[in-house]
Amino acid sequence: MGKILNGKELAARLNSELKNKINLDYQRTGVKPKLAAILVGDDPASKLYIRIKRKTCAEIGIDSILINLNGEVSNAELFTKISELNNDITVHGIIVQLPLPVKFKPFTLEFIEQIDPLKDVDGLHPINKGKLFDYNEEFVPATPKGIITLLEFYNIELKGKHVVIINRSNLVGKPLIFMFLKRNATVTICHTSTSNLENHIKKADILVVAIGQPDFITKDKIKEGAVIIDVGTSRVNGKTRGDVKFDDVFDKCSWITPNPGGIGPMTVSFLLQNTYNAYKRKISE
């Protein structure tokens, strides 16, 4: 019988602790943390994600500003906007909401490289990616940080475990490689060109799936007693669905994240935590 890794509950607790810390720092310094979000174009999903992030910021005492540029801006204008935010001493964290509209996609890395690494609260700047290579987790993407924190909170043993991750993106799979290695797990990364994917899944003590395909993971595919982390999200008939057929696998796994209510809230929480860390570093200078 599976047990729930309750990301929603833990995120609420972490947010409340963070709110108290921010309040104390604000009383002491008169300065509030501030997050700047750049949104290019009007993709509805991106707009929704930004709205959720800003709402949670407001709840815990982080100021946020939204710079919504229309999809017709030039690369130069976008670079200029990022530079302005780098130079704005009231801004502690900067995010560029991804994915960018098609015309900007080839330049995504160039835009990210423009962000001051000390304000890179999405953890995507090459300097922060490089630090993670050396197991320095000061600025890592929020989703992997949320996954590891949730596992550690529930005392799930990672040392010696075989972790299988189905995803190799910069936001999820790649950072997780280093974070699990740091904790002495053995890691297998799978993607669309992986041969015999089912054989890999079957060997996972801990399975992380982030592909955006509803019900992809079923009972017959997993190992008895596996820990299942369901990251992928899709909208089906107006409802959010994960990559795992929850009711089907529940009896066979040992632990599982619900989706929604698992990794999503943890991700938002760690974006805010990263923003607080950037702020804390600044006010401690």
Ligand X SMILES: NC(=O)c1ccc[n+]([C@@H]2O[C@H](COP(=O)([O-])OP(=O)(O)OC[C@H]3O[C@@H](n4cnc5c(N)ncnc54)[C@H](OP(=O)(O)O)[C@@H]3O)[C@@H](O)[C@H]2O)c1
**In sequence order, which ranges of the chain are alpha helices (DSSP H)?**
7-29, 44-60, 75-87, 108-114, 126-133, 142-153, 173-182, 197-202, 246-249, 263-283
Q: Is 212 in the site for ligand X (CB under 6 A)?
A: yes
Angular region, 238: left φ>0, alpha ψ -120 to 50, beta rest: left
Residue 126, helix vs strand vs coil: helix
Give the nearest distance from C-beta 213 to ligand X in angstroms: 6
Q: Which of 64, 73, 65 is nearest to 41 (CA)?
A: 73
Q: Is 108 in the site for ligand X (CB under 6 A)?
A: no
Binding span for ligand X by CB under 6 A among 30-38, 106-114, 123-131, 190-198? 190-198
Q: What are phi and psi of 136, to 5 degrees?
A: -90, 115
Which of 86, 108, 169, 188 is close enough to bind ligand X by CB under 6 A?
Answer: 169
Interface characters, 132-161, with ligand X (x: CB under 6 A)? -----------x------------------
Residue type, 15: N
Give the nearest distance from C-beta 72 to ligand X in angstroms: 25
Which of 22, 112, 115, 166 is close enough to bind ligand X by CB under 6 A?
Answer: 166
Give the nearest distance from C-beta 277 to ligand X in angstroms: 19
Q: Active site includes 134? A: no
Report the first-to-last Cα separation within the chain, whole angstroms: 50
Q: Is 167 in the site for ligand X (CB under 6 A)?
A: yes
d(CA 261, CA 9): 8
Give the nearest distance from C-beta 98 to ligand X in angstroms: 8
Q: Which of 122, 205, 230, 243 is catalytic?
A: 122
Which of 27, 74, 193, 195 is close enough to bind ligand X by CB under 6 A?
Answer: 193
d(CA 56, CA 50): 10
Give the nearest distance from C-beta 85 to ligand X in angstroms: 23
Q: Is 101 in the site for ligand X (CB under 6 A)?
A: no
**If residue 3 lies in a helix (H) or strand (E), which one and from where to where?**
strand 3-4
Residues at the contact surface with ligand X, assessed by CB under 6 A: 143, 166-169, 171-173, 190-193, 197, 210-213, 231-233, 263-264, 267
